Structures are given as C-alpha cells and as structure tokens.
A = this chain, B = another copy of it.
Amino acid sequence: MTTLLTETLARIRPIDPRWIERARARQLQLTKPAGSLGRLEDVANRMAAIQETLAPAADRAVIVLFAADHGVCAEGVNPYPQAVTAQMVANYLRGGAGINALARVAAVDLRVVDAGVAHDIPETAGLTQRAIARGTANFCQGPAMSPEQAVAALELGIEMSEAGAHLLGIGEMGIANTTSAAAITAALTGLDPTSVAGRGAGADDACMVRKRAALARALDLHGPHLRGPLEVLARLGGFEIGAMAGVCLGGAANRRAVVVDGFISTAAAALAVRLCPAAADYLIPAHRSTEPGHAPLLEIIGHRPLLDLEMRLGEGTGAALAIPVIRAAVAAFTGMATFQSADVSEAS
C-alpha cells in the first residue's frame, strides 16, 4: 500500500558525489587561499550537491516548530508543569519567546504547529492546529502512541516540509521531551538510558533521580519490542519528535537541506536516518547541545554541528543561529570573484 510515508521514503536519494567534486573545483577558483573558508566551504559544497546546482540558494528559510505533550511528564521528570507547553505556544504566537527574537533578527520565517498539546492554547491566531492527540501516553506504563499515530506524526512533518523554502529548520516544545529523547537515544544506540539523561530545562537532583528511574523502567518495559525506528518512535517518542523526523524525510525527498536544532531535534533526525540512511546527506546539525545524549545521536547523523554556544533551549533557536552561517557559506560560494575575473595572482 502506497502511503505518503512510503512514497516519501522511496523518493529519497543520496546526494551525487560528482556535485561535491564540481563545487570543490569551483571553490579553488575563488579569490581566497585554498580551503581558507574551512567548514563554510563544506557547507556550500553540500548545498550545491543537495540542490544540484553551482548556484544554490538559501534565502528563504523556514523553521517549523512543533509542540506536543508527553505522558511521562506524570513521573515528575521536569521542573515545569505540563501547562507550560500550551503557555509557550501562546508565547510563540505573540512573538515573545527566544525563537521569535532569533528568527526575526535572522529573517527566518517561523511556523508553529500543534502536533499534540494537552492543554487549551489561549491564543490561536497563526497556529497550525494538527494535534494527533492531546499528548502521548506515559511510556513507563505502555507505548507512548499507537503505530498509526507514529505514522501520522511522520506524515504531518512530511506535509509541513512543503514550505516553499530553500532551507528548512526544525524546532520543538514539549514539557518532558528530553526524557523522551533520552529514551530514543538509548533505544537507537544501545547506551544505558541513565547515561544519556541530562538536566533538560533545569531538573534538580531529586528530579534527575525520577528521570533516570523512569527511563530505566521504560527501557525495561519496551526494550524487547524495539525492532525498528517506527517502533522506537511509537513506544518512546512524542508527536513533535515524529513530526520533526517527517520534516527530515520530506526535506530529503524534495532535495532541501534540513537544519537540525539540538538534542530533541537530533533524536528526531536520527530516527529519520534509521528509517532512510540516505536522508543524512540532507541534514545540517546546527549546534552542539549541552545534553549528554546529543553526541551519540550526532554520530548517527554523521555530521558535526556548526556551532557550540552551550545552549539547551530548543524551539529551533540553534537552527536560527546556524541559518545565517549557511547563508554566508552560500553567499561566498556564489558571490565571490574568481582569480581570473578579479585579475588576482594565484599562489606559486
């Protein structure tokens, strides 16, 4: 049976290494010492290969911010009440959150999507309302969601990836979702779940004891059933995590780079890569989060983050900082003169 998900997975192709070679040859003609723009050159070369042109574009960028709630919040794993998810969505819609400020200053569009928030959202103008359910179930007691809901979350993300942008970013909000991301990390990597649990939004020591205990119980309960990434998402995930994985897949299918934010976004990106390894070619990790589970997830993606600013806010804030770097990489690649055109002597 063809579904949006299976059709999307079937369309994803690895990037063509000949485009990387063409871009590298172009870089050598530009008026700078060979390789002197460092990682900017790698980013530009990949953008060229993703878009299959020596004139890649990064002007129109959209960050899709998915919000959803998590049943595991009931285990006391987080210092904030669950109602903060809905309160912060209202804050995004009024433009008062960190991601609003960072997206504005970077000239990046922001789309806010309710993928499954538990509480009423006070203000809804500008919200894309696509809640799959009013939060997931508590994965310490059973699967977080049904297999059908997991597919629905992925397909929501695939749909949202059709944003008419040169560059997609992903971000999230969901009280307790670092616990879900840590569980996914443990499931995908085989690492002890307690070793990949960090303080998230600021868990104190008592909170961390409960978080580690919840993770250990969840992995004991679900471990024998985790036969693939779809089951990992259904049993341990969140709706926003599934949707972000969907953006990664949809972006890859449509040859668009996807800028991955921090720990939770990278858990989503890692699920996407496990569903379709070629999707990794389209992913650009934005920044290194302070969460301990982030590094092993980045190994699954296979790319290093561009930035390390000791951030741990989520929302797509890291993506909003990385997008100007990617635009700069593309601007240098497409806007610089060549040694020949500028009549500059080359190195001997």
Contacts and interface: CB of A to CB of B under 8 A. Distances in A.
Interface of A: 30-40, 79-81, 83-84, 87-88, 90-91, 94, 96-98, 100-102, 104-106, 122, 200-202, 290, 306-313, 317, 320-321, 324-325, 327-328, 331-332, 334-337, 341-348
A306 B306 contact: no
A201 B96 contact: no
A194 B311 CA distance: 37
Given A201-B33, A337-B91, A312 B38 contact: yes
A39 B26 CA distance: 35
Contacts of A335: 96, 100-101, 104-105
A329 to B, nearest CB: 9
Contact of A104 (B84, B312, B331): B331
Contacts of A40: 309, 311
B345 A83 contact: yes
Nearest to A199: B33
A81 to B, nearest CB: 5
Contacts of A104: 331, 335
B105 A342 contact: no
Given A106-B324, A202-B33, A345 B313 contact: no
Nearest to A38: B310
A96 B342 contact: yes
A83 to B, nearest CB: 6
Contacts of A311: 36-40
B87 A345 contact: yes
Contact of A87 (B87, B94, B336, B344): B344
A36 B80 contact: no
B105 A324 contact: yes
Nearest to A88: B344
A335 B81 CA distance: 24
B347 A101 contact: no
A93 to B, nearest CB: 11
Nearest to A207: B348
Given A309-B306, A335-B104, A347-B202, A98 B321 contact: no
A14 to B, nearest CB: 25
Given A33-B202, A332-B98, A91 B342 contact: yes
B36 A201 contact: yes
B94 A37 contact: no
30 contacts: A31-B96, A31-B97, A36-B201, A37-B311, A37-B313, A37-B317, A38-B309, A38-B310, A38-B312, A39-B309, A39-B311, A40-B309, A80-B345, A80-B346, A81-B348, A84-B344, A87-B343, A90-B342, A94-B342, A96-B335, A96-B341, A98-B332, A100-B336, A101-B331, A102-B331, A104-B335, A202-B347, A306-B309, A308-B308, A321-B328
Given A313-B33, A331-B105, A344 B91 contact: yes
Given A39-B309, A40-B309, A91-B337, A328 B32 contact: no
A201 B33 CA distance: 5
A162 to B, nearest CB: 26
